[in-house]
Chains A and B, each alone.
Chain A
Amino acid sequence: MTVLDVKSVFKKFKTDFYKKPNVVLKDVSFKIEQGRFVGFIGPNGAGKSTTIKCLLELIFPDSGQIYFFGQKFSLDHRIKIGFLPERPFFQEFLTGVEFLKLHWDLAQKSRALFLIKADEVLELVKLSHAKHKKLKDYSKGMLQRIGIAQALICNPEFLILDEPMSGLDPDGRILIKRILKILREKKMTVLMSSHLLEDVEELCDDLLIMHAGEVVYSGEIEIFKKNYATLEEAYSQFKIDLTENLNA
C-alpha cells in the first residue's frame, strides 16, 4: 500500500518584490510504500525541509498533488502522522509528561489511555526518569528523544523525522539510532531526512535523493549502492555523474 504519493510538486519563494522568484521545488514526485524506512538526503538547500513542510501543510505548493493513503491530504490524515522537526523547539516550561499530554489531547485521544501510552513511549526513548523534569532542564539529546516520544505518542502510521540526529553527541546518536532501529523492526513507515550517510545506510530500506529542488533518485538503497562498498562511495560517484550530466 502506498502511504505517501507526491505528484509534480512545484514551489517557489519570492524573497523581494523586484527579484525573480526562487524556485525551490521543481516537479517533485515520489512514493513511499507502507513499512519502508526511507532516507531523505541531499545537500543543504536541495529542498528537503521545504518538501517536508509541504507534506505537513506548513507551506503550500504552487502546483502538484500530495496523497496520503490514497486520498488528498486532510486534517484527519494528521492523526496518522508523527512529526519531529529539525530542531526541537518545544514549550520549555512544560515537563516531559505535560508535553506529551498536550499532544495527546490535541490529537483528541481518550484520556484514560494516556498514562499507559506515555509510559510506553517514555520507556522506549529512555526518559522515564526525567518525565517530571521541565523541558528547559533537558539536554539536546533528551529534547530530541522527547520529540520522538511526542511524534510516537498518538500511534502514527507514518513518521516524518527531520534530521533527528543532527548536533547530537555520540551517546545521543547511538540512543536515537537504537530507537529508530526498534521502529524499523516494527515495520513503521518512516521518512527520515539526514546528512549522515552512515546512519541512513544502517537504518533505511529506501533512498530519496534531492538535488537543486529535484528528486534525482528514488528507490532501494541496495540497488543504489550495488557496485560500491558503502553508501558514501556510491553517493560521491552519483554526485560526480550528476554534475557531469548537468554540465553536458
Chain B
Amino acid sequence: MKQFYSIFILAKLNAREWIRLKFFHIIIFFGLLFIAFSHMLSSLTFSVQERLLYDFGLAGLELGVIVISSLIGTHSIQREIDRKTLFVLLARPLPRSYIVLGSWLSILILCFLFSSGFLFSLIISADHSNYNLGLLLASFSSLLKAMVISSFAIAFGLLVRPILALGATISYWILCYSLPDIQFFVLKLKDEALISAFQVLEKLLPQFYRYNWKSFYYITHIPSSSEILWSIFHSLAWTFVWLFLASLFFRRKEIV
C-alpha cells in the first residue's frame, strides 16, 4: 500500500508543475471564453436558448478536457526527461510503471479540476439550472474519455516525438467519435473488404459515440444506469490497455 502512495506523490508533483504553467491558465481562459460565447449565442435565439447554451458550453468542456489530456499526456514524461528532473526520481526505488501511472493520474486531477470549475461556472452563470444531474453526467462522460485519451497520449508520447504523438492522439479522438459515420459510408459502398476492415477497426477503437452525453438532449434525458456502467467499464478497459502498453514502452526506455 505504501508503495502505491508513491504514485499519488508523483501525480501531485506533476499536477502542481502543470498548474503553475501558462498552458493551463490559457486553457482556463478559453474555458471562460467558451462559457461567455455560449451565453452570447443563446441570447441570439428565441426558441432554443437553453439548448444552445448547454450544447455549446458542454462542447467547450469536452474540448478543454481533451486538450489537457492530449497535450499534457504527450509531453509530461518527455518534458521530465528533457529537463532531466526524472534522473533523481528514477534513482529512487520506484518501478518505472509508477512514473507512467503518476503522470496519468496527474492528468486526471487536472481534468477534474478544469471540468469542476467549468461546470460550476456554467451552472452559476446560467442563473437557474434544473439539469444538475444531467450536467454532472455529461462532465463525467468527458472525464471517461479523457481517461482513455490521456493513457493513449502517454503511450504514444513514449514511442515518438511529443508533437507526432499529439497529432496521433487528436486523430485517435476524432476516429473514436467517427465510427458510425465511417460505417455509414462503408455500408453505402457495399464492399465486402471494406466492411470487414471496418469490423476490425470497430474492435480496435473505443466507442466514444456511445457515451457522447454532452448535449442538451442527454442532460434532459438521463442515460440508464446500464449505459453508465457500460461506459465506465468500456473506458476503464481501454485505459488499462493503453497504460499497460505505456508501462511496457517505458520499461526499457533509455534516459540519455
Contacts and interface: CB of A to CB of B under 8 A. Distances in A.
Interface of A: 13, 53, 56-60, 75-76, 78-79, 81-83, 85, 87, 89-91, 93, 102-103, 105-108, 147, 150
A106 B87 contact: no
Contact of B85 (A53, A57, A76, A89): A89
Interface residues of B, number: 26
A102 B254 contact: no
B90 A108 contact: no
A103 B91 CA distance: 10
B93 A107 contact: yes
Contacts of B13: 91, 102
B91 A105 contact: no
A150 B95 contact: no
Contacts of A102: 9, 13
Contact of A76 (B16, B20, B93, B254): B93
B93 A60 contact: no
Interface string B92-127: 111100000000000000000000000000000000
Interface of B: 2-3, 5-6, 9-10, 13, 16-17, 20, 83-85, 87-95, 252, 254-256
A237 B14 CA distance: 50
Contacts of A56: 87, 90-91
Given A58-B254, A59-B254, A60-B254, A93 B87 contact: no
A113 to B, nearest CB: 14
A91 B5 contact: no
Nearest to A105: B9
A106 B89 contact: yes
Contacts, number: 70
Contacts of B3: 108
Nearest to B84: A89
A93 B83 CA distance: 14
Nearest to A78: B93
Contacts of A82: 91
B195 to A, nearest CB: 38
A93 B92 contact: no
Contact of A89 (B6, B87, B93): B87
Nearest to A101: B9
A81 B255 contact: no
Contacts of A81: 91
8 contacts: A56-B90, A83-B88, A87-B84, A89-B84, A91-B17, A93-B17, A106-B6, A106-B9
A49 to B, nearest CB: 9
A60 B253 CA distance: 9
A124 to B, nearest CB: 18
B11 to A, nearest CB: 12
Contact of B255 (A13, A53, A147): A53
A86 B93 CA distance: 20
A83 B83 CA distance: 17
Nearest to B6: A106
A106 B94 contact: yes
Contacts of A93: 16-17, 20
Contacts of B17: 91, 93
Contacts of A90: 85, 88
A58 B255 contact: yes
B245 to A, nearest CB: 19
Contacts of B2: 108
A64 B89 CA distance: 25
B228 to A, nearest CB: 36
Contacts of A103: 88, 92
Nearest to A50: B256
A85 B84 contact: yes
A129 to B, nearest CB: 23
B255 A105 contact: no
